[in-house]
Chain A
Amino acid sequence: MSGSAASRGSALTGLRVQLRVLGALTLRELGTRFGRDNLGYLWLFVEPALLGGAIGAVHHLSGHGLPGGLHVATFWVMGYIPYYLLRGIINRAPVAIVSNQSLLYHRNISIFDIILARDLLEGAAVGGAMLAFALFFGMTAGEWPREPEKVVIGMLMMLGFSHGVAMLIAAGSVYTELFDRVVHLFTYISLPATGAFFMVFWLPTELQQAALWIPTVHMFEIVRNGQFGNQVPTHYDVGYVLGWVAGLNLLGMAAIRRARQDLVI
């Protein structure tokens, strides 16, 4: 009995230490990434917002309409921002361990904490930009998200998915530089397939089936469902996405656990 009480106590202590470490890592990451010059922490939101805004503006000005009469700039921005989250997290994954290696001198900091802190910060940044755009399109074009909770859920799924992939890439980077070399290329050429800029209902039926194998396609569709409601048909399967997220995260955690053993600091 005392044994179980003690282990419960130590699990709680462990959780407290982990939360403390996560908080410290996030603050430090904030400081090192955005520093204290010019706009400082504001860059956190401004960076994704600028890119998203540019994409939205280009398509708004080009004047091409969209199937279902969707608001053009909203469509592109609401596709680009979640993609920015995916790309930002995955592109930065190969150096996640190397650039924080000196922190692993502290036994209570794990690779998991380091990557999670980075990804949560990225998620918060992109989430902030998303919120800003939702307000902007709501106020200027009356394009308020019909079901905001679905936008949030879609973004959270994207965060969980990217985090799982990032852990696998970070672990692999302990063994080979290959990931660092190809990951940018991969995120770049996979852009058309992720589902950021097309909707499933635009595709012929057989292509729809193929596209729905890609987990990110579902996430973008969820976000669009949240933004545009039933103005256009959306296709997604929440269970399928959760399966991917859970699988990738479990594999990722196992991989970084193994990599930690082999890591030479």
Chain B
Amino acid sequence: MIRITDLCKVYKTHLGPKTVLNGLSAEFRHGEKVGILGRNGAGKTTLLRLISGVEGYTSGRIERRMSVSWPLGFAGAMHYSISGADNARFIARIYGKPLDWTVGFVEDFAELGEYYRLPVRTYSSGMMMRLGFALSLAVDFDCYLVDEVIAVGDSRFGERCRVALAERHANSTLLLVSHQVATVRAFCSSAAVLQDGRLTRYDDLDEAIAAYHAA
């Protein structure tokens, strides 16, 4: 379970403080697949960063009672000057996974071909996304935080991600942020709308989508 209470995030900018999240509260339970809908700039990515712990927050509280992935997107989590295989070794060491198994698993899942042995900075954004996703699946988190990426990647890989997540569905939780209704429909069973720095949960997907369109 992840419980968020009264979460506020204020960024300092050259134009003064900018409030992105303002008293957001929410609870995500084991096995839930929740789509978080929001317009560009609503704070979706920020919310995922705070939940994952990549960035600190201004006030409030986030309790994590399960292992939470890093935010899966195009950037972050890997080192660009070393190869995909070296990244897999690094992740295996960091998270205490068997080295050879991890390197093999990531190679199979990411399907990078010979690029797997080349520095990550030579990858296309789609390849980086595949590597990032494969790395996170190798670690085997309870909860995956996904930032639009699956929709942007090619559809075959998107389908494999969906299957990989569904296979663990009894335990694994998915929080997917998107501004596209179609993505949320494909991956999630319920949804929430992020607006004005707060999150509104809807048990019914259609209800959430209607609220999102109305906003």
- By a beta-carbon cutoff of 8 Å, the part of chain A in contact with chain B is 17, 20-21, 23-24, 27-28, 31-32, 102-109, 260-265
A31 and B54: CB pair below 8 A? no
Further contacts, 15 of them, CB under 8 A, given A20-B94, A21-B93, A262-B56: A17-B96, A20-B96, A24-B93, A32-B81, A103-B77, A105-B52, A105-B54, A106-B70, A106-B77, A106-B91, A107-B52, A108-B94, A108-B95, A262-B12, A265-B55
Within 8 A of A (CB), among B33-85: 49, 52-56, 68, 70-71, 75-82
* Distance between B19 CB and nearest chain A CB, rounded to angstroms: 15
Q: What are the 3 A-B residue pairs with the smallest beta carbon separation, nearest first?
A: A24-B93, A261-B56, A105-B77
Instruction: Name 23 A/B residue pairs within 8 A (Cβ), A-sorted.
Output: A17-B96, A21-B93, A21-B94, A24-B90, A24-B94, A27-B93, A31-B86, A32-B79, A102-B77, A102-B78, A105-B70, A105-B71, A105-B76, A105-B77, A106-B77, A106-B91, A106-B95, A107-B54, A107-B68, A109-B94, A260-B56, A261-B56, A264-B55
Residue of B nearest to A100 (CB): B79
Q: In angstroms, how far is the closest chain A Cβ from the Cβ of B81? A: 5
Question: CA–CA, A109 to B49, complex, Å?
Answer: 15
Partner of A28, one of B49, B68, B82: B82
* Contact across chains for A103 and B79 when beta carbons are under 8 A apart: yes
CB of A69 to closest CB in B, whole Å: 49
The distance in angstroms between the C-alpha atoms of A257 and B120, with both chains bound, is: 30
Minimum CB–CB distance from A9 to chain B (whole Å) comes to 16
Chain B neighbourhood of A261, CB < 8 A: 56
Looking at the assembled complex, report how far the CB atom of B145 sits from the nearest CB atom of chain A, in whole angstroms.
Answer: 10
Q: Which residues of A contact B101 (CB under 8 A)?
A: none
Chain B residues whose CB sits within 8 angstroms of the CB of A20 once the complex forms: 93-94, 96
Contacts of A103 in B (CB 8 A): 77, 79
Q: How far is the CB of A41 from chain B (nearest CB, A)?
A: 14
A85 to chain B, nearest CB (A): 24
**A-chain residues with CB within 8 Å of residue B54 when the two chains form the complex:** 104-105, 107, 265
Nearest chain-A residue to B83 (Cβ)? Answer: A31
Residues of B within 8 A of A32 (CB): 79, 81-82
Q: How far is the CB of A38 from chain B (nearest CB, A)?
A: 17
A24 and B79 alpha carbons, distance in the complex (Å): 12
Task: Name the CB-closest residue of B to A175.
Answer: B12
- For the complex formed, measure the closest distance between the CB of A121 and the CB atoms of chain B, giving whole angstroms: 15
Give, as a whole number of angstroms, the nearest-CB distance from A166 to chain B: 20
Given A28-B82, A264-B11, answer yes or no on A106-B56 (Cβ-Cβ < 8 Å).
Answer: no
Nearest-neighbour CB distance to chain B for A217, whole angstroms, equals 38
When distances are taken between beta carbons in the complex, the residues of chain B under 8 Å from A31 are: 82, 86
Residues of B within 8 A of A109 (CB): 94
Please state if A102 and B80 are interface contacts (CB–CB under 8 Å): yes
With both beta carbons as reference points, the residue of chain A lying nearest to B75 in the complex is identified as: A102
Q: Is A263 in contact with B55, judged by CB distance below 8 angstroms?
A: yes
> Which residues of chain B in 10-38 are interfacial with respect to chain A, using CB atoms and an 8 Å cutoff?
11-12
Q: How far is the CA of A66 from the CA of B125 in the complex (A)?
A: 61
Residues of B within 8 A of A102 (CB): 75-80
Q: How far is the CA of A262 from the CA of B95 in the complex (A)?
A: 25
By a CB distance below 8 angstroms, the chain A residues around B79 are: 28, 32, 102-103
Q: How far is the CB of A233 from chain B (nearest CB, A)?
A: 49
Query: Nearest Cβ in chain A — how far from B16, in angstroms?
Result: 15
CB distance from A147 to the nearest CB of B (A): 38
